[in-house]
């Protein structure tokens, strides 16, 4: 039985004017969306997938963008097709929200920070439905219950900054479904969210789709995520569709090298590569019967990870009974202060040359633990012993000198770089501050070498952060951390917001640098598949405490706690794994 399409896109082309030239972002794209089905659009940043989605609602900013050609046919259910590209703005506003709605990628930038979440949803409802303010508020409350927000009345009066990332995304979903649209477009709705929150959002979208009988266009850079939700998949690269088919066919039998690369570059629990494949490897035809060669080194699958022999070495870092608490409130007139135990009596050891993976959901305390170890946050109690030195007892002058040994790579490279300064200055500054080398020329040469070390041309040193991609900015932050020749680096969610292909490049880089410089890592992430790939040992954190530790393979294959099992079960891409193995 043929399912009638509710949307047909024919030969869509979109371009943008930049520096007196026009750049094509989408080139002759055609596809259809069946009624009540989910279409996945997958590709790296810059592939054209989000521009395609914005074009469906004619949200491309003009200038500089323009829809150059094509048709977008929407079926109203009575057999009548309307070309959305031929409508004037007044007619088109009747389709936006009512018939086609969108969940945008970053909820914090999509929600107005000066209005409550309730006011923003009420405004969207009253824009399209003839309801009084009270009726719209009651309906918004009902929608908050539908999207499973905790304490819906409280969140009606809350501002966006008072909510977690997952809660903000649920508010956006409530706004998107408020007018019962026929088509819901979800543009990267789970990027940078915890894997458990991501799983909840995916399940929520699916349940709402069934309840409201919607069709869904789901956009992501991660084929594993798309495979969990989509019926059909189109893969985009360079503004074009390079492959399309059912989700099962694309996942199990990808034909295009680009699709094969997207699938291969994400760490797989069952396959422990000595080096992650990248999309570039497949696109440059380096694949030979499943064996990829890079710089003469084959990407092989290790049978079993070799554990560190702790008994033959003294720990480089010992953390003993470390606690970091935060108090809220002033405690005046008998009011008690509220205490948050972000890190609660944590003890662990890290050995020279190993990577300890620290995993847990947002709010579990893993970032606070990492910053407490480095004394970026002063702990409330406990001991941090680094190679015989108690860091918690160091004064500010001693601590400044000691920081050369211990560095950190932050989660968001853009916010950790000064937007007003060239990135070369970010790498050169720590060399100068710590008095390394004797002349200015030697310092500049050291900075240039660091660019080579992290895989960037030294000419990039004159560029500003906004002129670089996310992966390039993260390489700059890694170079800055290496500038003072540290022994120990904390990587705090350093790949969580990157495309899976760029993520593979950064993970390979971190492992190469570890081998070259003899580094020791704490690798912090919410994604157990990434942590399992990177780590020798894993520590699982929940509510400020370490609840499980062990060798990476043992923790992943035989978790001892229900919480760890939940983290493992939330890793996307398992829907077709059994069929893939067969």
Q: How many CA atoms lie within 13 A of 497 on its CB side?
A: 17
Residue 69 near residue 13 (C-beta atoms within 8 A) = yes
Residue 174 near residue 205 (C-beta atoms within 8 A) = no
pLDDT in tens, 536-575: 999 999 999 999 999 998 999 899 999 999 999 888 877 6
What's the per-residue H, E or C state across 407-458? EEECCCCCCCCCCCCCHHHHHHHHHHHCCCCCCHHHHHHHHHHHHHHCCCCH
pTM (predicted TM-score): 0.85
Query: Counting beta carbons within 10 angstroms of the beta carbon of residue 332, is it exposed (0 to 12), middle (13 to 18) or buried (19 or more)?
Result: exposed
**The domain over range 1-99+185-200+219-264 is classified in CATH as 3.40.630.40:** no
352-380+389-581: CATH topology is Rossmann fold (3.40.50)
Sheet bearing 5-18, strands edge to edge: 21-34, 5-18, 65-75, 81-83
pLDDT in tens, 154-171: 999 999 888 877 888 899
Structure tokens at 187: 């543009």
pLDDT at 288: 45
pLDDT at 294: 40
β-strand pairing of 38-42 with 215-220: parallel
Buried b (16+ CB within 10 A) or exposed e, 92-129: beebbbbbbbbbbbbbeebbeeeebbbbbbbebbbebe
pLDDT at 495: 87
CATH 3.40.50.300 residue ranges for the chain:
1-99+185-200+219-264, 352-380+389-581
Partners of 26 in the beta sheet?
14
Angle (nearest 5°) at CA 116 between 122 and 367: 130
pLDDT at 162: 86
How far is the C-alpha of 30 from the C-alpha of 218, rounded, in Å?
Answer: 16
How far is the C-alpha of 142 from the C-alpha of 155, rounded, in Å?
Answer: 12
pLDDT at 190: 84
Residue 457 near residue 451 (C-beta atoms within 8 A) = yes
Under DSSP, the state recorded for 307 is P
Mean pLDDT by 10 residues, the chain (582 residues): 81 87 91 94 90 92 88 84 90 88 81 92 89 93 90 90 84 90 91 82 91 93 89 94 94 92 81 79 61 44 50 85 82 64 93 95 89 94 94 91 91 85 93 90 93 90 87 91 94 86 91 93 91 94 94 92 92 69 54
pLDDT at 148: 86
């Amino acid at each position: 039985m043929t399912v009638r399409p509710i949307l047909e896109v024919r030969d869509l082309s979109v371009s943008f004017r930049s520096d007196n030239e026009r750049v094509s972002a989408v080139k002759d794209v055609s596809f259809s969306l069946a009624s009540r089905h989910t279409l996945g659009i997958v590709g790296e940043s810059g592939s054209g997938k989000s521009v395609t989605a914005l074009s469906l609602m004619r949200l491309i900013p003009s200038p500089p963008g323009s829809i150059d050609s094509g048709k977008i046919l929407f079926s109203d259910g009575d057999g009548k097709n309307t070309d959305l590209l031929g409508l004037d703005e007044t007619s088109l506003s009747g389709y936006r929200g009512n018939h086609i709605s969108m969940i945008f990628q970053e909820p914090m930038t999509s929600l107005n920070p000066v209005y409550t979440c309730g006011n923003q949803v009420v405004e969207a409802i009253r824009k399209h439905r003839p309801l009084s303010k009270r009726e719209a508020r009651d309906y918004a409350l009902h929608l908050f219950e539908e999207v499973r927000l905790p304490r819906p009345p409280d969140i009606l009066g809350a501002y966006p900054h008072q909510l977690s990332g997952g809660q903000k995304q649920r508010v956006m979903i409530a706004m998107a479904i408020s007018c019962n649209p026929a088509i819901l477009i979800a543009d990267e709705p789970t990027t940078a969210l915890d894997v458990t929150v991501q799983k909840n959002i995916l399940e929520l979208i699916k349940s709402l789709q069934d309840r409201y009988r919607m069709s869904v266009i789901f956009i992501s850079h991660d084929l594993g995520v798309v495979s969990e939700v989509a019926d059909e998949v189109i893969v985009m690269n360079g503004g074009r569709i390079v492959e399309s088919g059912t989700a099962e066919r694309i996942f199990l039998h990808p034909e295009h090298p680009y699709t094969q690369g997207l699938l291969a570059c994400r760490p797989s629990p069952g396959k422990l590569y000595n080096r992650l494949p990248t999309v570039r490897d497949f696109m440059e035809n380096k694949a030979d019967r499943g064996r990829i060669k890079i710089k003469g080194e084959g990407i092989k699958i290790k049978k079993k990870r070799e554990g560190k022999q702790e008994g033959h070495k003294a720990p480089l870092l010992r953390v003993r009974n470390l606690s970091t608490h935060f108090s809220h409130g002033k405690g005046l007139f008998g009011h008690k202060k509220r205490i948050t135990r972000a890190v609660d009596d944590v003890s662990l050891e890290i050995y020279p040359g190993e990577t300890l993976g620290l995993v847990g959901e947002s709010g579990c305390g893993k970032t606070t633990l990492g910053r407490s170890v480095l004394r970026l946050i002063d702990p409330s109690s406990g001991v941090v012993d680094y190679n015989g030195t108690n860091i918690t007892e160091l004064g500010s002058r001693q601590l400044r000198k000691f920081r050369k040994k211990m560095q950190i790579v932050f989660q968001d490279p853009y916010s950790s770089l000064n937007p007003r300064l060239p990135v070369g200055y970010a790498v050169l500054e720590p060399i100068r501050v710590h008095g390394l080398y004797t002349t200015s020329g030697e310092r500049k040469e050291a900075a240039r070498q660091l660019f080579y070390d992290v895989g960037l041309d030294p000419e990039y040193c004159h560029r500003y952060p906004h002129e670089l991609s996310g992966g390039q900015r993260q390489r700059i932050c890694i170079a800055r951390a290496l500038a003072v020749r540290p022994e120990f680096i904390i990587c705090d969610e350093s790949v969580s917001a990157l495309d899976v292909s760029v993520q593979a490049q950064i993970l390979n880089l971190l492992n190469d640098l570890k081998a070259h410089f003899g580094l020791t890592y704490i690798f912090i992430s919410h994604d157990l598949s990434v942590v399992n790939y990177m780590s020798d040992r894993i520590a699982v954190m929940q509510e400020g405490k370490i609840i499980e530790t062990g060798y990476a393979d043992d923790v992943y294959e035989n978790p001892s706690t229900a919480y760890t099992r939940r983290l493992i079960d939330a890793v996307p891409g398992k829907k077709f794994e059994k069929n893939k193995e067969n």
